[in-house]
Structure 1
Amino acid sequence: MTSDAPVEARPPGGKTFFGHPRALSTLFLTEMWERFSFYGMRAILVLYLTASVADDGLAIRESTANAVYGTYNAMVYLMALPGGWVADRLIGARRSVLWGGVVIAAGHYVMAIPARWTVFAGMALIVLGTGLLKPNISTMVGDLYDRDSPRRDAGFSIFYMGINLGAFIAPLVTGFLGEKINWHLGFGAAAIGMTFGVAQYVLGRRNLGEAGARPVDPLLGADRRRALTRIGLVTLAVLVLLAVLALAGLFTVNSVVNLLTIVTVLVTIGYFARILTDQEISGTERSRMKAYLWLFVFAAAFWLIYDQAGSVLNIFAADKTDRDVLGFTFPASWLQSVNPILIIIGAPLAAWLWLRLGHRVSTPVKFGVGLVLNGLSFVLMAAAAQAAVGGDLVSPWWLVAVYAIQVAGELSLSPVGLSATTKLAPVKYASQMLGLWFLATAVGDAIGGQVARLAESWPEPTYFLTFGLASVALGLGALMFARQIRQLMAGIH
């Protein structure tokens, strides 16, 4: 629930943030530090998991580490669904962001403890905290503006710059500390970053006005007690299941990863089945959801490849690239900063291009282009892997070129998909569709984690070429059937 007067009309003391409500600075910095912690930890996670015991790592097999990484990313996005529900029905977006930040920081501090068990316990906390923070902080940004405010899109653009700024800086800090000094020191830097984010969020709360102050559709009385009881029972059931698996000797990293992958896919199937069989949505809305199902599949396939940057490509950077510059071998994780800086540079160009092209290029065509570019990045990666056959170290510029192609694909698909999600949503499910868009990333990362297991057993050139060509083929298919999908979209471009 928001106040009748928009926050942007009454910034405290007349102060603004680049001409926007002062509250935007608080949310900008919170998101920047949260992304700093997220991408900072993610940049060194697989490297830590696969590092030898002599190098203070966990010496986990590369295939298992890749699957853990993919599943972790999937859970982060999957938990956005219950996180949004908790804010809407129980505690409001503002408190969800606060408690989410606290839990995230706690998770990183746990990972900073030099013990074998802490990495998985810490990741579990980070997943829970991110589920509370990630979807709801974006909601609060929207609450700063009237729905039809001409400055709304510009405000979100500034906010998203915070995401990429944090993602750019993080690997440079955590990568150096983790790879050059101690892994847990790198995790600790991520914890300190999130602590900064929480502290400035608390100090800046006076700027927020009524944004996110209360649940938009609160559960009251018996309904609230019933919901809390169900949450308690589900939590107890999960704990019992984990205990049974442990007693049966089945509580292993691989079994948990496989279980969570299955859960992610089943939740997605259930979500689409619920919407498509709902008799309350109109025929036009059902047609649009059928079109959206195709876009969802394309997006999941895109993230399956794209998000291997932090796993398979990160390991390649560590083992097979010549990172020596004037006698200094820079950390492999530093290459994880290439993606966000390219997005910062490329996003305004992409926005200008789509504005110029207008409706001449439809959403399915843009998705097809994104998939083709994503596939071509892996085809180029196959060439890099072939050059490294025999133990030769290759130039890191191979990876920079791969990331540049992937970013071009992302800018063709990701913001376009977010926009299409809001336009194709049935009225009844309008508030839930953003969570469904997050599910595309969750499914892609979950399945991608399983696919990435093959990178250890297959020849690397074969691995990259196979999935690169598969993505190109799927993209070409999207282009071929773009007209039919657009017809299903029933007037939506």
Structure 2
Amino acid sequence: MTTTAPRVDHAMLSAEPDYPTLWGHPRPLWMLFMAEFWERFAFYGIRWALTLYIVAEFFQGAASGQAAASKTYGAYLALVYASAIFGGYVADRLIGYQRSILAGALIMSAGLFMIMLPSQPLFLAGLATVIVGNGLFKPNISTLVGKIYPAGDPRRDRGFSIFYMGINLGGMVSPLVTHWLASLATGTSPLLNYRMVFAAAGVGMLLSFLWFQLGRRQLQGLGSLPPAPGNGRKTALVVAGALAAILPVYLLLEYVPAATLAWVLLALFCGLAVNLYLAAAKHGSVARQRVIAMLLMFAFNVIFFMFFEQAGSSFNFLAQNIVDRQVFDGFELRVAWFQSLNSGVIVLFAPLVTMVWAALAARQWEPSIPRKFALGLLGNALGFAVLMFALTRLVDSRGLIPFWTLIACYALQTIGELCLSPIGLSMVSKLVPSEKAGLAFGGWFLSTAIGNNFSGLLASDISGETGMTIQSALGGFTFSFWLLAGAAVLLFICAPRISKLMHGVK
């Protein structure tokens, strides 16, 4: 496939204009920051509601629907991230990054409005549409962030951390705003409340489209196609192909078991790994070894997100049924609000973590990329350790655990995420040959997809046939702690060898 597709002129796509700076970074960073803010507003707006809506709408609120809802959620997340591999390919080889982002934003917004419709086939078709649109949007906006910095620019890591704050500002605000909008429909069917959430997410995605469309002049042509008569035709064909792809994605959601989907995603990952390896080999042994190091880090990213993404499934059911959400008399925490914790902690701590890395770098003490990943795995593990303690020692007479334990879990996991996710995005931009940047970012998101699919399988197993119990939650979270802790120790041990493969990339 890669040998026959027409190529985009990468002299245009990868050029590095001399951008004016704003607050020490290229000015387009802040435009990309806000476009991503609105996209994440849409994504997190439905994240807290999806599993709860599936149980309420399609299982009439029965706890036995939790397992199926978790599998659907895991498959949806997996395909959302897996679609990035195709979006990266399309941008790299056909229509460029800017047009991919704009087309993806419009398709996603259509899907978000579709899931409001009270029909399971239309609901799944809406999710499939969101998945396809996300594939065109998500990897390519991250690629542009990497490309606005010159090669070797030490600001790039910090730029990705700032960009990551844009992601999480949207994620923090969205559950609060969408829950407030849902509360406006109090006294009506709870299902109408969820549909208001989906409508707000659709509006957020339209705002992302408008923000990027109005601000993309700042990019000075970076990521756009060089003028040519066939550009409009290429774009039309890509959009038509994206719309045609909705049907097979729908069939995957409807008919392919989550366990089978795992094998499909693994096969995709193997194909991508071979493609990136062969492309890097053409640039010599250094480029080849850097890609090997990147693929190894992708494997640890799978482990991280298998457990981190319990937030939208098993943690949701935990908050709904096993957490005492009463803060004081007359005030109760809402399930949706817990979904803002992850993003809120990132907004608070991302600047601090960025300053810590910068201070350590000034003293030549900054941890290597693999060691930062290991710290991320450890933070994730400690979050589960708090829940293990709560489910063992702090269960009250009503079978509930204190709300602060789930808050502490989210905080620890989020600090772990800050050591891994923004570093991973920056790592990809540094280790891969320029002409494969979009595909490599697709690979990063594909590794996240595999982890998300596994997260749905784990959450389904925790809920079982009758819904989550204290015993099933304790068993699942204990398994999560030990696997994460073991992976962290293994990566600490292997870090020097992996760093050597990176040949000076830090």
The 2-side partners of 1:367 and 1:149 are apart by 21
Partner SS state of residue 452, structure 1: helix
Any idea what the Cα deviations from partners look like across 1:99-152, whole Å, max 9, x if unmatched? 211111111111122333332111111111111111222334455555566766
Please tell me whether residue 77 in structure 1 is matched to residue 84 in structure 2. Answer: no
Amino acid at match of 1:366: K
CA RMSD in angstroms comes to 3.6
* Map of 2:7 onto structure 1: none
1:426: how far off? 5.2
Between 1 and 2, higher relative CO (CA 8 Å, sep ≥ 6) is seen in 2
Q: Which residue, 21, 28, 47 being the options, matches 1:42?
A: 47
* Map of 2:473 onto structure 1: 460
Q: Which residue, 132, 147, 152 being the options, matches 2:136?
A: 132
Q: Which residue, 410, 417, 420 being the options, matches 2:417?
A: 410
1:116-131 to structure 2, matched below 5 A, reads 116-131=120-135
1:157: how far off? 4.5
Please tell me whether residue 213 in structure 1 is matched to residue 224 in structure 2. Answer: yes
**Residues 287 and 431, structure 2, Cα contact 8 Å, conserved in 1:** yes
1:437: how far off? 1.8
1:341-360 to structure 2, matched below 5 A, reads 341-358=344-361, 360=365
The 1-side partners of 2:135 and 2:268 are apart by 16
Please tell me whether residue 332 in structure 1 is matched to residue 335 in structure 2. Answer: yes
The 1-side partners of 2:58 and 2:298 are apart by 41
Any idea what the Cα deviations from partners look like across 1:222-266, whole Å, max 9, x if unmatched? x979x969x969958x95898xx8xxxxx8846354443322111
* Map of 1:479 onto structure 2: 492
**Residues 78 and 449, structure 2, Cα contact 8 Å, conserved in 1:** yes
The 2-side partners of 1:94 and 1:430 are apart by 14
329-338 or 206-215: which moved more?
206-215
311-320 or 154-163: which moved more?
154-163
**Residues 89 and 438, structure 2, Cα contact 8 Å, conserved in 1:** no
The 2-side partners of 1:315 and 1:22 are apart by 42
**Residues 111 and 119, structure 1, Cα contact 8 Å, conserved in 2:** yes
The 1-side partners of 2:226 and 2:262 are apart by 31
1:431: how far off? 5.1
1:6-17 to structure 2, matched below 5 A, reads 6=17, 8-9=19-20
The 1-side partners of 2:354 and 2:404 are apart by 27
The 2-side partners of 1:476 and 1:309 are apart by 24
The 2-side partners of 1:69 and 1:141 are apart by 29
* Map of 1:163 onto structure 2: 167
24-33 or 336-345: which moved more?
24-33
**Residues 44 and 178, structure 1, Cα contact 8 Å, conserved in 2:** no
Any idea what the Cα deviations from partners look like across 1:257-308, whole Å, max 9, x if unmatched? 4443322111112222344467535334444444333322211101111111
1:397: how far off? 0.9
The 1-side partners of 2:25 and 2:275 are apart by 39
**Residues 378 and 485, structure 2, Cα contact 8 Å, conserved in 1:** yes
CA change 1:74–1:66 in 2 (3 A) is same
CA change 1:365–1:95 in 2 (3 A) is closer
Amino acid at match of 1:296: F
The 2-side partners of 1:329 and 1:137 are apart by 38
**Residues 160 and 422, structure 2, Cα contact 8 Å, conserved in 1:** no
Partner SS state of residue 48, structure 2: helix
**Residues 3 and 210, structure 1, Cα contact 8 Å, conserved in 2:** no
Partner SS state of residue 453, structure 1: helix
Amino acid at match of 1:128: V
* Map of 1:12 onto structure 2: none
1:374-393 to structure 2, matched below 5 A, reads 374-386=380-392, 387-388=394-395, 391-393=398-400
**Residues 128 and 249, structure 2, Cα contact 8 Å, conserved in 1:** no
Any idea what the Cα deviations from partners look like across 1:395-424, whole Å, max 9, x if unmatched? 221111001111121122223333333443
336-345 or 386-395: which moved more?
386-395
* Map of 2:370 onto structure 1: 364
Partner SS state of residue 212, structure 1: coil
The 1-side partners of 2:53 and 2:169 are apart by 24
Q: Which residue, 445, 449, 454 being the options, matches 1:442?
A: 449
The 1-side partners of 2:290 and 2:15 are apart by 33
**Residues 380 and 402, structure 1, Cα contact 8 Å, conserved in 2:** yes
Stretches of structure 1 that go unaligned for 5 or more consecutive residues are: 10-15, 246-250
Partner SS state of residue 51, structure 1: helix
CA change 1:490–1:21 in 2 (3 A) is closer
1:67-466 to structure 2, matched below 5 A, reads 67-142=71-146, 144=148, 156-178=160-182, 182-205=193-216, 207-214=218-225, 253=254, 255-276=256-277, 280=282, 282-325=284-327, 326-358=329-361, 360=365, 361-386=367-392, 387-388=394-395, 391-425=398-432, 429-430=436-437, 432-457=439-464, 459-466=472-479
Amino acid at match of 1:192: V
Stretches of structure 2 that go unaligned for 5 or more consecutive residues are: 1-11, 465-470
**Residues 89 and 219, structure 1, Cα contact 8 Å, conserved in 2:** no
Amino acid at match of 1:37: A
Normalised by the length of structure 2, the TM-score is 0.81
Amino acid at match of 2:296: W
40-49 or 60-69: which moved more?
60-69
**Residues 321 and 396, structure 1, Cα contact 8 Å, conserved in 2:** yes
Amino acid at match of 1:370: G
CA change 1:219–1:128 in 2 (3 A) is farther
The 1-side partners of 2:319 and 2:159 are apart by 36
1:430: how far off? 4.9
**Residues 92 and 437, structure 2, Cα contact 8 Å, conserved in 1:** no
1:160: how far off? 3.1
1:4: how far off? 7.3
Q: Which residue, 52, 64, 71 being the options, matches 2:68?
A: 64
The 2-side partners of 1:215 and 1:88 are apart by 13
The 2-side partners of 1:479 and 1:184 are apart by 45
The 2-side partners of 1:287 and 1:142 are apart by 21
The 1-side partners of 2:249 and 2:344 are apart by 43
Amino acid at match of 2:223: G
The 2-side partners of 1:389 and 1:64 are apart by 29
Partner SS state of residue 183, structure 1: helix
Provide the identity percentage. Answer: 38
57-66 or 110-119: which moved more?
57-66
The 1-side partners of 2:160 and 2:242 are apart by 38
1:24: how far off? 4.7
**Residues 97 and 144, structure 2, Cα contact 8 Å, conserved in 1:** yes
CA change 1:290–1:18 in 2 (3 A) is closer
Amino acid at match of 1:92: G
* Map of 1:13 onto structure 2: none
